[in-house]
Structure 1
């Protein structure tokens, strides 16, 4: 019986008519894996957004599959889809040795970030079986020659395949020798508004902005010095944790929570807190789902406007709804966003009365009071 990809859902991620839980790349990766005849316990899967690869292989009878998904939403979608389809035979891992040890075949949905790709391919070359083959795939419109160059740093043979249904696979084999220590995470010392001392930022692979302070966060910090205080503060979508760490260090009396749906971001934020001696609770969570309702005084937010490779306003709206849920009545949400997105009306609708606090040529900072 042919596996039904159409039965898969993205939930709890955003769902819409133009968003689906699989694409042709997933199907091509599954076809190549089944043709390779490798046992399930010798297969590692990376970047399986909603479980399409893992569950199709499990449905084909493979067991012992190892899978790494960066996003909390992806992990929850995989678990829900597996339960709905009555499938098992896989185990989730972080991006570490246990994911790859003994793996002879690694299936990879290509990430957007070249840094993330570099960390993944180094990990495969570092920990997988000597004879490992890495099959990476993506939508042709998002693929670049630079991705081949990154793969070639860790593998001697990198062979792009013919495009099919607007997707393409790349087969990498003959792993190269790796450095004595992994190239990630990276560390930098940066200046941040509101703090005299430099802040140490630690960044793994795909963490947004890497070991730098992105412009939006800098603008929000400039406003935060004068505009925001609270006994319980949440950095919603914390990235490397620069915002939460700065707040915690400048407001030691506050309880600060940092959450992100990206495992790479969470690992980065935890390392950033440790490097600076900042006391912050860091959680791998989807839009603060584990934070109790009406328990927070202040939410800090630099929302995304992409869902994978798609631009979709639902990404920001989910964050606004999360902030509205966890804020106490009268609590504040400080949001920074690209000015052309004009989120003020949406913030007023979802959260409460909103005002512009600051505006630059690129970014706007608003304050919303929870009604």
Structure 2
């Protein structure tokens, strides 16, 4: 059988750069282990679930090897689109996309996972596998050694009787778990925490969990101090929380401005599920729409009066400003002429000039040694 052409895989529509690729050694180890297990244990493609396959390297390599019917869960909208695009480019079919629900895992005898950064996300995934997969499931999780910790083994040991770390290869390592332990009646997520003025709900993969992260807190304080214009373009302004996370900005704004039409959007499925749970916890289901999308690509151009943004500065484990730039470009597309973008970012990144170039005149509203808040007015 010819070797799978990993080098043909692309990250698109995610950021692409010379130092970013669409696969790593962990993907190769997961594929090698899956192919060996599929032969030794007679596991068929429809008994395999793949979680966290960022751009499709694991899924498509297994399909190329003859396994069909693989179930896949990817958190990011960009990853889902990249998988579809890569499959089309290589002429491969034979996978089905699912959310992190029972349909993904029911009857699965082999679950492959690219280890997430968050222990809470790993806890949610481990609970889901133990809760819904087959009793004889083999759960194989892998990651880059430099990003792995013993705490990951401990999380898996909370849901599986047998957890064995394998020898490191090519700077990656696999952890194999089996023997699901009894699970509680209710899944451990979402977690709901009451903050001053509103509640936040979070699933395991949501950034900052049910806490208000520091940057969001700074932006909330600035908006609450009167920085927002008294007449933001309309009696019932359309407001977009771009990269909404758990929905703190969207909910806070909706509670403070009852006439506003608020849309919260994020590329992370865990964030979207969390934001929807947050919206429900605050009784705002009729006033806030939450969408899973890549940089709000499906929202109306020039339809927003206000955009709220706390952009990421990481792409996976890499520090990269490309993610923020894509969101600045998205904000420029979403805002009507004269509309306002409120952004909080790490002061060291100095985004003001880029915001002025991509969106319009930008002024600093607040600055601390760690965070800066700006207002950009969309040029006509």
Q: TM-score, normalised by structure 2?
A: 0.95
What is the DSSP-based 3-state SS (H/G/I as helix, E as strand, rest coil) of the residue aligned with 1:233? strand
Query: Is residue 234 of structure 2 the alignment partner of residue 233 of structure 1?
Result: no
Aligned residue for 2:48?
Answer: 43
Cα distance in 2 for residues equivalent to 1:209 and 1:190: 14
Cα distance in 2 for residues equivalent to 1:83 and 1:276: 42
Equivalent position to 1:258, from 261, 264, 277: 264
Cα distance in 1 for residues equivalent to 2:79 and 2:150: 27
Q: Measure how far apart 1:209 and its partner are.
A: 1.2
Cα distance in 1 for residues equivalent to 2:345 and 2:210: 20
Q: Measure how far apart 1:361 and its partner are.
A: 2.8
What is the DSSP-based 3-state SS (H/G/I as helix, E as strand, rest coil) of the residue aligned with 2:356? helix
Equivalent position to 1:272, from 272, 275, 278: 278
Q: Which range is displaced more, 213-222 or 110-119? A: 213-222
Cα distance in 1 for residues equivalent to 2:214 and 2:115: 27
Aligned residue for 2:32?
Answer: 31
**Cα deviations across residues 66-85 of structure 1 (Å, max 9, x unaligned)?**
00000000001001111111
Cα distance in 2 for residues equivalent to 1:96 and 1:294: 36
Aligned residue for 1:174?
Answer: 179
Query: Is residue 354 of structure 2 the alignment partner of residue 354 of structure 1?
Result: no
Q: Which range is displaced more, 15-24 or 340-349? A: 340-349
Query: Is residue 337 of structure 2 the alignment partner of residue 333 of structure 1?
Result: no
Query: Is residue 288 of structure 2 the alignment partner of residue 285 of structure 1?
Result: no
**Cα deviations across residues 114-134 of structure 1 (Å, max 9, x unaligned)?**
000000001000000000010
Could you list the runs of 5+ residues in structure 1 that have no partner in the other structure?
A: 192-197
Aligned residue for 2:327?
Answer: 319
Cα distance in 1 for residues equivalent to 2:209 and 2:143: 23
Equivalent position to 2:156, from 140, 151, 155: 151
Aligned residue for 1:195?
Answer: none
Aligned residue for 1:161?
Answer: 166
Q: Measure how far apart 1:153 and its partner are.
A: 0.6
What is the DSSP-based 3-state SS (H/G/I as helix, E as strand, rest coil) of the residue aligned with 2:158? helix
Q: Which range is displaced more, 218-227 or 108-117? A: 218-227
Cα distance in 1 for residues equivalent to 2:261 and 2:314: 30
Q: Measure how far apart 1:294 and its partner are.
A: 1.1
Q: Measure how far apart 1:227 and its partner are.
A: 2.2
Cα distance in 2 for residues equivalent to 1:93 and 1:201: 25
Cα distance in 2 for residues equivalent to 1:174 and 1:273: 37
Q: Which range is displaced more, 136-145 or 248-257? A: 248-257
Cα distance in 1 for residues equivalent to 2:8 and 2:213: 39
Cα distance in 2 for residues equivalent to 1:261 and 1:215: 21
Cα distance in 1 for residues equivalent to 2:73 and 2:358: 34
Aligned residue for 1:141?
Answer: 146
Could you list the runs of 5+ residues in structure 2 that have no partner in the other structure?
A: none
**Cα deviations across residues 263-296 of structure 1 (Å, max 9, x unaligned)?**
0100010111111112101000011101121111
CA RMSD after TM alignment: 0.9
**Cα deviations across residues 286-317 of structure 1 (Å, max 9, x unaligned)?**
11101121111110000000000100010111
Aligned residue for 1:85?
Answer: 90
Cα distance in 2 for residues equivalent to 1:355 and 1:186: 37
Query: In the TM superposition, what are the counterparts of 1:4-83 in structure 2 within 5 Å?
Result: 4-37=5-38, 38-83=43-88
Q: TM-score, normalised by structure 1?
A: 0.97
Q: Measure how far apart 1:175 and its partner are.
A: 1.2
Q: Measure how far apart 1:173 and its partner are.
A: 1.0
Query: In the TM superposition, what are the counterparts of 1:179-194 in structure 2 within 5 Å?
Result: 179-191=184-196
Q: Measure how far apart 1:250 and its partner are.
A: 1.4
